[in-house]
Amino acid sequence: MHSLPAIAGNGPGPRCTVPTGRPNVLYSRDMPVEPAKLCIVRYPDPVLRQRAEPIETVTDEVRAVAARMLELMIEAPGIGLAAPQVGLTWRMFVVHVPESHPDDDPDEDNRSPGDDPPTATATPMVYINPMLSGYSRDLVSESEGCLSLPRITGQVRRPSVVTINALDAYGKPFTAQAGGLLARCIQHEFDHIEGVLCIDKFLPPDRRRAAKQLRVMENNADAFTPGATARG
């Protein structure tokens, strides 16, 4: 997810040379992943629409993939990235919502890991096999973007507070509550591992506007030549 103009540019970013629109056959649980070769896949890659599978064991390979995902997310730049966005149907995502500083845009919300519940992360976070619960009843609408949907943004209504249960990068279970932008980011990334994209949740005017941009992306994807193997 990239929803903050200040920390989330709309730059072109690294382009996956794997053709989009092709079934994701490069990885299965039997095939080792080369983290260095992972890159961010873009709409309409079908992997973005698959429901991801639980990670059975948190191995060195999983940790290496998480580290690469954090690298790609920070480089993009963005504040969250889910495994399907690097072509892996794994239930894992990474998030880093930095604390806001006084010299940030004054219109922006103040965010801090010390808030109750926290609205920012003190360090980059890895969430494996996450489960969400404890949604607050209030719905807040804010603009969201996605690293797999460059230049597309829209208003999405979400609960302002959520609780997440997950395994950390060492396989240790933890529970955390999140509010503000952190809650939004966690819900956006969780949607990714369910095969759901923020465009599905855009409020109607933004959804109509995005539809045109999506058609352009779908048409451009057809122009790619199959056969590249950069992702595997």
Establish whether the linkage from the previous residue to 117 is cis, with ω within 30° of 0: yes
- For residue 94, state whether it binds Ni ion (rule: CB under 5 A): no
> Does position 73 bind Ni ion by CB under 5 A?
no
Stretch that binds Ni ion, among 16-24, 133-141, 145-153, 208-216 (CB under 5 A): 145-153
Nearest residue to Ni ion by CB is 146
* Residue whose pair of structure tokens reads 């955390």 in the numeric block: 176
Using the rule CB under 5 A, which residue among 146, 156, 169, 193 binds Ni ion? 146
In the complex, the smallest distance separating the C-beta of residue 42 from Ni ion, rounded to whole angstroms, is 10
Least distance (Å) between residue 57 CB and Ni ion: 26
Q: Write out the binding residues for Ni ion, residues 6-65 only, by CB under 5 A.
A: none
Residue 27 or 93 having the CB closest to Ni ion: 93
- Shortest approach of Ni ion to residue 106 CB, angstroms? 27
Active site residues: 189
- Decide whether 173 or 218 has the Cβ nearer to Ni ion: 218
Q: CB of residue 189 vs Ni ion: minimum separation in angstroms?
A: 7
Which segment (8-16, 58-66, 142-150, 206-214) binds Ni ion by CB under 5 A? 142-150
- Nearest CB to Ni ion, comparing residues 85 and 119: 85
Residue 76 or 146: the one with the smaller Cβ distance to Ni ion is 146
| Residue 144 buriedness (CB in 10 A; 0-12 / 13-18 / 19+) | buried
Q: Which stretch binds Ni ion (CB under 5 A): 40-48, 123-131, 143-151, 217-225?
A: 143-151
Q: What is the residue whose two structure tokens read 């599978």?
A: 53
CA–CA gap between residue 228 and residue 19 (Å, rounded): 7
1 contacts Ni ion (rule: CB under 5 A): yes
Secondary structure, 3-state, the chain:
CCCCCCCCCCCCCCCCCCCCCCCCCCCCCCCCCCHHHCCCCCCCCHHHHCCCECCCCCCHHHHHHHHHHHHHHHHCCCCEEEHHHHCCCECEEEECCCCCCCCCCCCCCCCCCCCCCCCCCCCCEEEEEEEEECCCCCEEEEEEEECCEEEEEEEEEEECEEEEEEECCCCCEEEEEEEHHHHHHHHHHHHHHCCCCHHHHECHHHHHHHHHHHHHHHHHHHCCCCCCCCCC
Task: Find the shortest distance in angstroms from Cβ 145 to Ni ion.
Answer: 8
Binding residues vs Ni ion (CB under 5 A): 1, 146
